């Protein structure tokens, strides 16, 4: 991912160098030559994604495209903080490297936890099914769309949850290849450690409209964004609310800066004529007409 950004942009190559220095990881080697197992380690995945998403934003800037608002899904909220002027790039990478390390460690300390995607069952129905079955160690982690959510929990709880959710009408429950139950109380070790790690950090007020995963709303205070940055580790990603807030703010076009088309896909479930276009390659960016 991101190789064409690297090959065509001097500014992106400089980002790779800065990110490698800040994270103490050779990110060029990891992203372009690393094994799947290396890339799937949380402490590596988060830094790699943050870098490539900022690389995509840099290429957008080089094509004369600058946003009036910023939002990001889960880890993607960190590159969005850079885009909005809340954090400088190098400092963001350093914080994300520690975030990834702590979340990786929290997963190992959990004694067995995981996540699963739930298809074709509304989030409220999932919550009701978990409550009715008396399952208190599984939570809705990602409110992605009316037909797709992600749950997080213990391994034993997940087995019970899968049966209860299917009985409630879910078409499929798909276990995800992750190292822990992210965006749930199981990540409290990471939350505590990260909150302490960023205690002396300063978060500027955003220079663009900025939308939060934790609240699903526009947030304009740097101190509050700092609090939410830690809170996000144990809180659900309220993406459906965030999409509604973006539309309410009057935006007429969204661009997904980074690898893949996941967010553009989720956007299709929103009842709107506002497009969301993927920007995962230089060619896709070059084809955008505003």
The number of folded domains in the chain is 2
For the segment 84-139, what is each residue's pLDDT rounded down to a tens digit?
999 999 999 999 999 999 999 999 999 999 999 999 999 999 999 999 999 999 99
Contacts of 250 (CB under 8 A, 6+ apart): none
Report yes or no on 282 lying in a domain. no
This prediction's pTM: 0.96
Domain of residue 81, residue span: 3-108+185-252
Q: What is the CATH number of the domain that holds 161?
A: 3.30.70.250
For the segment 162-194, what is each residue's pLDDT rounded down to a tens digit?
999 999 999 999 999 888 999 999 999 999 999
Specify whether 145 is located in the same domain as 125: yes
The set of catalytic residues is: 74, 183
Specify whether 215 is located in the same domain as 200: yes
Q: What is the CATH number of the domain that holds 76?
A: 3.40.366.10
Ramachandran region of residue 64, left (φ > 0), alpha (ψ -120 to 50) or beta? Answer: left
Tell me the CA distances in angstroms from 140 to 10, 64, 87, 116, 246, one per residue in order: 41, 39, 29, 10, 22
Specify whether 28 is located in the same domain as 97: yes
Report yes or no on 287 lying in a domain. no
Residue 290 has pLDDT above 90, yes or no: no
Report yes or no on 272 lying in a domain. no
């Amino acid at each position: 991912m991101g190789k064409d950004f690297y090959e065509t942009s001097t500014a992106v190559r400089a980002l790779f160098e800065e990110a490698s220095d800040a994270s103490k990881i050779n990110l060029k080697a990891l992203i372009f030559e690393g094994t799947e197992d290396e890339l799937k380690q949380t402490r590596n995945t988060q830094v790699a994604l943050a870098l490539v998403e900022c690389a995509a934003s840099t290429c957008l800037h080089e094509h004369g495209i600058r946003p009036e608002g910023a939002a990001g899904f889960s880890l993607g909220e960190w590159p969005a903080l850079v885009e909005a002027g809340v954090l400088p790039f190098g400092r963001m990478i350093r914080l994300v490297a520690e975030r990834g390390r702590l979340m990786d460690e929290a997963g190992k300390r959990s004694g067995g936890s995981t996540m699963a995607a739930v298809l074709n069952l509304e989030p409220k129905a999932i919550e009701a099914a978990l409550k009715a079955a008396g399952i208190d160690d599984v939570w809705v982690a990602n409110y992605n769309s009316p037909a797709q959510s992600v749950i997080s929990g213990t391994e034993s709880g997940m087995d019970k949850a899968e049966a209860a959710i299917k009985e409630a009408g879910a078409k499929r429950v798909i276990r995800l290849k992750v190292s822990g139950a992210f965006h749930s109380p199981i990540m409290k070790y990471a939350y505590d450690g990260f909150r302490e790690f960023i205690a002396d950090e300063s978060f500027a007020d955003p220079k663009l409209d900025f939308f939060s995963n934790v609240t699903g709303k526009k947030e304009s205070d740097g101190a509050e964004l700092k609090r939410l940055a830690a809170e996000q580790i144990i809180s659900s990603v309220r993406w459906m609310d965030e999409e509604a807030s973006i539309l309410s703010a009057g935006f007429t076009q969204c661009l997904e800066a980074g690898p893949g088309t996941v967010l553009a896909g989720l956007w299709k479930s929103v009842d709107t004529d506002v497009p969301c276009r993927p920007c995962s390659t230089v060619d896709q960016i070059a084809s955008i007409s505003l």
